[in-house]
Amino acid sequence: MTHHADLRLNSEMQQSEMEQCIQNCLNCHSTCLSTVAYCLEQGGQHTVSSHVALMLDCAEICQTSANFMLRNSALHRRTCGVCAEVCDMCAMDCQRFTDDAQMQACAQICRRCAESCRQMAVAAI
């Protein structure tokens, strides 16, 4: 394979990873928002302000990271790094609700988004 073919293949792989990361961010954004609504319906420990605020922060940074990647911003790696950190925190917070399928699903989606954002944050341009 020629050097140009290697670069093209690498670029296509990075594009595919970015597209997957964008989708993970959008999924996490919508899941966190719908889970906030669910938590408000549940009441009790689900409505602790720090928990709700973290899910809203997670939704917001996921949408922002997706937007940065969609625009091909030179700063997308930085937003993805922050997104991975917030998603990890949100996943840990949601997984505390061990007998709640909605909260466990939110934690799983947050972990998936964190992992793909972590990969984007360290990817070469």
Q: How many folded domains does the chain comprise? A: 1
58 domain residue, yes or no = yes
Read off the pTM.
Answer: 0.89
The reported pLDDT for the residue numbered 1 is 46
Question: pLDDT at position 124, please?
Answer: 59
- Read off the CATH number of the domain in which 32 is found: 1.20.1270.360
Region 12-16: mean pLDDT is 74
* pLDDT beyond 60 at 2: no
Say what the pLDDT of residue 15 is.
Answer: 81
Query: Are 63 and 15 within 8 A, CB to CB?
Result: no
Is 103 a member of any domain?
yes
Its domain, for residue 14, covers 10-122
| pLDDT score of 22 more than 50 | yes
> Is residue 108, in this structure, part of any structural domain at all?
yes
pLDDT digits (tens, 9 = 90+) for 55-100: 999 999 999 999 999 999 999 999 999 999 999 999 999 999 999 9
As a whole number of angstroms, the distance between CA 9 and CA 59 comes to 32
Does the residue 3 lie in any domain? no
Distance CA 62, CA 28 (A): 7
Q: Is 37 exposed, middle or buried (0-12, 13-18, 19+ CB in 10 A)?
A: exposed
Question: From the CA atom positions of the chain, what is the Rg in Å?
Answer: 16
